[in-house]
Amino acid sequence: MARMTMIEAIREAHDVAMAADERVVVFGEDVGFFGGVFRCTAGLQEKYGKSRCFDAPINESGIVGTAIGMAAYGLKPVIEIQFADYVYPAYDQIVSEAARLRHRSNADFTCPLVIRMPTGGGIFGGQTHSQSPEALFTHVSGLKVVMPSNPRDAKGLLLAAIADPDPVIFFEPKRLYNGPFDGHHDKPVESWKSHPLGEVPDGDGIVPLGKAAVRRAGAEVTVLAYGTMVFVAEAAAAETGVDAEVIDLRSLMPLDLEAIVGSVQKTGRCVIVHEATRTSGFGAELMALVQEHCFYHLEAPVIRVTGWDTPYPHAQEWEYFPGPGRVGEALKKVMED
């Protein structure tokens, strides 16, 4: 197995899929000659040509609309929205067309489309380059929503998304592109090259959608997290000494409810962590599901640790970012109740 950054793993997934199936095409703003703003598609145009990896105008609704038409006619487009914050002009296309195509055509048409986009903060991107809009898509029937936390899953989940016959929203936590991040911004940056999850299997190994992973086994409290927050949760558990079981959801829709319920029924306590704003965030859905399926096993109220209900602040980035201090406080509180 090769050691890779998440950027390299995503690029590798594109390469494997494009080599295996000539219907796979890749495009978006600057993804061709330039290789993408984060270089996730570097080298693909040179290898596969301008008809399979190409640049698109700066028009998100046009990019998504074109990709939907291509998917309906049998191609398998993998498109990049340069930042998740830029997806809103294309939201109507995604919700009204891509998500509905199978149902409105009685399955005469499908939409095998993958929409990749960097998400989240931690890089001083300010309010227009740091948003986490995953809840806007988990609410829409017909879409699948994925967020890997490491290179190994990034490659396997992207291959699964490309193989899927329905549209998949593929969020990439950009703070994790080059290494794991536990929320301690004042510590030296760690590289994926020295992390176990930086080892990426060769070939076309798929990580199935809808399957969570236990990143840290524990008996006292379940922590539900995804993306960057997986590493923050692990750090908080280590620093507080709470025997927390950290579940990396990986796939938000479909959701591995069985893994969630099994863990919470075992521990009797639950903390939910995400970077997105609190109100109507995906954590609210997770909390409702835990209450619904695990009520008689709970020893304490479920606690959420999230971003604020404000635009992402540039000057107070690390107060907004749910770091190990805030998560640790929640772990200690849930153990006291």
Residues 276, 63: Cα–Cα separation, whole Å:
25
Q: What is the per-residue DSSP string for 244-292?
A: EEEEE--EEETT-HHHHHHHHHHHS-EEEEEEEESTT-HHHHHHHHHHH
φ, ψ of residue 158 to 5 degrees: the values are -65, -40
Angle of the 257-267 helix axis to the 282-294 helix axis, nearest 10: 60
Instruction: Evaluate whether 132 touches 307 at the Cβ level (below 8 Å).
Output: yes
Residues 62, 58: Cα–Cα separation, whole Å:
8
Q: Which amino acid is at 300?
A: A
- Active-site residue, from 103, 129, 184, 185: 129
Query: Which H helix or E strand runs over 304?
Result: strand 303-307
Active site includes 129? yes
Partners of 144 in the β-ladder: 168
The length of the chain is 337
Tokens representing 269 are 């306590």
DSSP 8-state secondary structure symbol assigned to residue 217? -
Half-sphere exposure for 154 (CA within 13 Å, toward CB): 34
Residues 254, 138: Cα–Cα separation, whole Å:
9
DSSP 8-state secondary structure symbol assigned to residue 117? E
Q: Which amino acid is at 195?
A: H
Using CA atoms, how far residue 35 sits from 80, 153, 157, 293, 319, in Å, is 11, 21, 21, 45, 33
152: left (phi over 0), alpha (psi -120 to 50) or beta: alpha
| Catalytic positions, written as ranges | 129
